[in-house]
């Protein structure tokens, strides 16, 4: 049992330790400002950005944290002195999402500043072991873009938070999620202290380089084709009351109303925000539909159609000197996207009818209670 006077001493010691910690941060900090720009579907990358900004504030730096789609250069007009710019994003298909890459290509503010590029990726926890996700080219491609634009890279840094890819697997259990957040919060704050005091930090990114190189070709496949197909796997079930939350919250404005039901356009990046934040659990990944179309494509439609299309494409592309394999891949995948898009429109129309709506819902894993949703936990109390 701790007596009242001992408690008072402990509290004062904690205040003193906090003060000394902040003093050492501010003495070591090489920057006056931090501009933190993130892409986040379910909140992981946003939370990491907040942790880094918190460390920067403790060091006395001016900070501005914003989502990439809300960034306004006027909001950093008051920045004077040296600025660190940090980009943090979710990883999609071993790369950054298309809209974040496009944002970085167009980014021109504070030319010549130092840059941090970070990603959050699908980590796991097995017993006491924290396992990493895979970045692929998610750090190297944006780094190259920013170097070519004249910025200096001070760090590449992945953070392995719970996977939000609920179309593939149910969300992790709360206990595991909380322990991953505790673990990576303290590591990220330590990292922020180091990088803001001028250290270059690349080790954690480079350790996984051989694996990242191995999956790099998949990043191209996902970027040019896979993401379009995934955009065609979402549908609402009978619980949808047309509240419009998914439409207003979608950062890429990819959800529209068609026939009074939400409809996902090809610009959807499958960030999973809509599905995980829907208060009615009304958004499903249509697993049965996806597999039926996939098998129909592989076994029936695609070989037959692509033969005919190849004949035409060969005549068209031959002059451009493209090889048979390249033309074949383009033809096959373009057909796949076209067929998925047409079938999706058909399914969307059919789902107006109760029978089809139920058929689709009951054959989607995401409909059932055991398939947990995921979003980053709310900010810690002790911040
Ligand atoms: C469509 C999609 C693709 C993903 N691809 C990868 C990947 O290639 N590698 C990886 O480690 N994690 C991948 N993930 C997991 C997310 O990057 C990870 O959960 C991230 O922390 C989510 O961040 P956010 O909550 O800020 O959106 C993917 C998730 C989705 C939805």
In 33-149, alpha helices (H): 44-58, 98-106, 140-148
pLDDT at residue 148, rounded to an integer: 97
Average pLDDT, the chain: 90
Give tens-digit pLDDT for 18-47: 766 666 666 666 899 999 999 999 999 999
How far is the centre of ligand 1, averaged over its atoms, from the C-alpha of 92 (Å)?
A: 5
Q: Is the pLDDT of residue 102 over 60?
A: yes
| Ligand 1, pocket-test mutation among 47, 90, 172, most atoms within 8 A of CB | 90
Cα of 271 vs centre of ligand 1, distance in Å, is: 8
Mean pLDDT to the nearest integer, 185-198: 96
pLDDT digits (tens, 9 = 90+) for 168-184: 999 999 999 999 999 99
* The pLDDT of residue 103 is above 60: yes
- The pLDDT of residue 382 is 45
Atom of ligand 1 nearest to the CA of 136: 8
DSSP string, 88-120: EEE--SSS--HHHHHHHHH--TTTT-EEEEEEE
Of ligand 1's listed atoms, the one at least distance from the Cα of 219 is 8
What pLDDT was estimated at residue 23? 61
Cα 30 to averaged position of ligand 1 atoms, centre (Å): 32
Looking only at the bridges linking them, the beta strands covering 33-39 and 129-131 are unpaired
Between 38 and 78, residue with greater pLDDT: 38
Q: Give the pLDDT score at 334.
A: 83
pLDDT, residue 383, reads 40
The pLDDT, as a whole number, for residue 22 is 67
Best substitution site from 121, 135, 138, 366 to test ligand 1's pocket, by max atoms within 8 Å of Cβ?
121
CA distance 212 to 205: 9
Residue 34's pLDDT is 97
Pocket of ligand 1 (CB under 6 A): 40-45, 90-94, 120-122, 133-134, 136, 161, 163-165, 270-272, 376
What value does the mean pLDDT take over residues 153-181?
97
Protein residue whose Cα sits closest to atom 19 of ligand 1: 163
Q: What is residue 212's three-state secondary structure?
A: helix
Q: What is the mean pLDDT of residues 291-310?
A: 76
Kindly give the distance from the C-alpha atom of residue 159 to the centroid of ligand 1, in angstroms, as a whole number: 11
pTM above threshold 0.85: yes
Q: Which residues of 279-298 are buried (b: 16+ CB within 10 A; e: fewer)?
A: eebbbbbbbebbeebeeebe
pLDDT band, residue 378 (cuts 50/70/90)? confident
**pLDDT for res 6:** 79
Per-residue model confidence (pLDDT) at position 129? 95
**What backbone phi and psi angles, to 5 degrees, belong to 79?**
-70, 125
Tell me what pLDDT residue 285 has: 96
Write the pLDDT tens digit of every residue in 240-273: 999 999 999 999 999 999 998 999 999 999 999 9
Span from the CA of 273 to the centroid of ligand 1 (angstroms): 12
d(CA 257, CA 333): 27
Give the three-class secondary structure for 76. helix
Domains of the chain: 4-215 (3.40.50.360), 228-367 (3.30.70.20)
State yes or no: pLDDT of 144 exceeds 50.
yes
pLDDT value for 28 = 65
328 has pLDDT over 80: no
State residue 156's pLDDT score: 98
């Amino acid at each position: 049992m701790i007596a009242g006077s001992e408690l008072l001493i402990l509290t004062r010691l904690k205040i003193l330790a906090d003060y000394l910690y902040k003093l050492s941060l501010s003495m070591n900090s090489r920057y006056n400002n931090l501009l933190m720009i993130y892409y986040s579907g379910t909140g992981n990358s946003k939370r990491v950005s907040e942790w880094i900004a918190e460390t920067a504030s403790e060091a006395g730096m001016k900070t501005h944290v914003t989502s990439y789609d809300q960034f306004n250069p006027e909001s950093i007009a008051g920045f004077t002195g040296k600025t660190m710019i940090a980009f943090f994003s979710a990883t999609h298909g071993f790369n950054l999402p298309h809209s974040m890459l496009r944002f970085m290509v167009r980014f021109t503010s504070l030319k010549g500043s130092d840059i941090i590029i970070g990603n959050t990726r699908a980590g796991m926890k097995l017993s006491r072991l924290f396992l990493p996700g895979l970045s692929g080219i998610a750090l190297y491609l944006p780094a190259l873009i920013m170097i070519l634009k004249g910025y200096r890279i001070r760090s590449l840094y992945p953070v392995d938070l719970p996977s939000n890819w609920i179309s593939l697997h149910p969300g992790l259990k709360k206990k595991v999620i909380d322990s991953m957040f505790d673990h990576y919060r303290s590591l990220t704050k330590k990292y922020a202290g180091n990088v803001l005091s001028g250290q270059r930090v690349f080790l954690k990114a480079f350790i996984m380089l051989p694996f990242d190189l191995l999956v790099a070709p998949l990043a191209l496949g996902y970027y040019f084709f896979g993401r379009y197909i995934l955009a065609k796997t979402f549908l609402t079930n009978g619980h949808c009351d047309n509240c419009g939350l998914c439409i207003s919250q979608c950062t890429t404005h990819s959800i529209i109303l068609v026939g009074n039901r939400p409809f996902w356009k090809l610009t959807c990046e499958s960030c999973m925000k809509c599905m995980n934040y829907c208060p009615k659990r009304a958004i499903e990944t249509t697993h049965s539909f996806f597999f039926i179309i996939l098998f129909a494509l592989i076994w029936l439609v695609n070989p037959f159609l692509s033969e005919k299309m190849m004949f035409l494409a060969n005549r068209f592309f031959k002059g451009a000197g493209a090889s048979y394999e390249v033309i074949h891949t383009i033809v096959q995948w373009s057909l796949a996207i076209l067929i998925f898009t047409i079938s999706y429109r058909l399914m969307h129309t059919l789902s107006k009818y109760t029978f089809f709506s139920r058929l689709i819902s009951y054959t989607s894993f995401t409909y059932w209670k055991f398939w947990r949703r995921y979003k980053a936990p709310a900010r810690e109390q002790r911040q």
